[in-house]
Structure 1
């Protein structure tokens, strides 16, 4: 009887502790299109530090579980695509202080993103996040390091459990949030 009680206690601890399920927050890149944008006749760059690129974030999912993702790595392709829609050429800049790289590639602006995320779920029995928020604070600096532009954009994404199950896209809310930011 004691063994059954211990097993029940262990099982309840494991259930309550939850776990982190890996997802991506990358938007559907095919929706981020140039359309009617006339590119600015300048080259641009973007900078994401290696530590940000490797940063893992864990936020709440449903049922006591969590979701984990790498926000900077996941949004990099979308950032690059948006900038490519706006500028003639776009470069991944090794450092905003790398004046030789910036001069050699005639880069006029360097975009530096800062990402914050939140997630939650209305589901009690499932791990997926039904609601996701992505906040992108981005600034552009010129060749001298002076801030010439700043913008904060918030994207919210929601997906019902049934919708995620039907599509098989368990990160649908996060994709919608990031797509809202980059559109």
Structure 2
């Protein structure tokens, strides 16, 4: 009987805690991107991430019935800036496509990212995701607003319990880093950006 009571108490605890959203970050290790871009494209670009986007919190599934929450635009802004600085001769942060810096700093291109994420865990015991994806869809327009190209990449990050027990955000960080590496390659391969 005592064993049944302990089992029921444990089950009640799991059900009570299940469904909460645990905060994680998507901050990638940008050091791995240093000098990975090869020859820079001789253009100045603007990166558009609005204040509203930076405040957008996303919640996706974790393990054990729990969820994870994060701020993808805020977390990836520095990584995107660093990636673009590896690919182009100049990068500026913009508040929007019509920011006066476009003309004032003689920017050639304006890049606006759309960030989409998914997460998953096959664990019924631990909440950190074992699989995370980051999709970057970057719309590129000229200084006058004319469409130039769209860059689309998907980053994948995986982490096992032994790895993420000291960093609950590990799969998300790996997915972000993978997406940024692929973005750097997509930029280098896209002739419309030359």
Q: TM-score, normalised by structure 2?
A: 0.83
What is the alpha-carbon distance in structure 2 between the residues aligned to residue 12 and residue 94 of structure 1?
44
- CA shift for structure 1 position 132: 0.4
- Structure 1 unaligned residues grouped into runs of 5+: none
What is the alpha-carbon distance in structure 2 between the residues aligned to residue 13 and residue 160 of structure 1?
24
Quickly say closer, same or farther: Cα 1:171–1:36, change in 2 above 3 A.
closer
Q: TM-score, normalised by structure 1?
A: 0.88
- CA shift for structure 1 position 10: 6.7
What is the alpha-carbon distance in structure 2 between the residues aligned to residue 159 and residue 58 of structure 1?
19
The reply on whether 1:176 has 2:174 as its aligned counterpart is yes
Query: Which residue of the partner structure matches residue 125 of structure 1?
Result: 125
The reply on whether 1:91 has 2:100 as its aligned counterpart is no
The reply on whether 1:113 has 2:118 as its aligned counterpart is no
Deviations 1:93-150 (CA, angstroms, capped at 9, x unpaired): 122113x321110100011000110001011111110110111111111111111011
| Cα RMSD, aligned residues only | 1.9
Quickly say closer, same or farther: Cα 1:81–1:62, change in 2 above 3 A.
same
The reply on whether 1:52 has 2:53 as its aligned counterpart is yes
Runs of 4+ aligned residues of structure 1 deviating over 2 Å after TM superposition are: 7-13
- Structure 2 unaligned residues grouped into runs of 5+: 182-194
When the two structures are aligned, how many residues end up with a matched partner?
A: 174
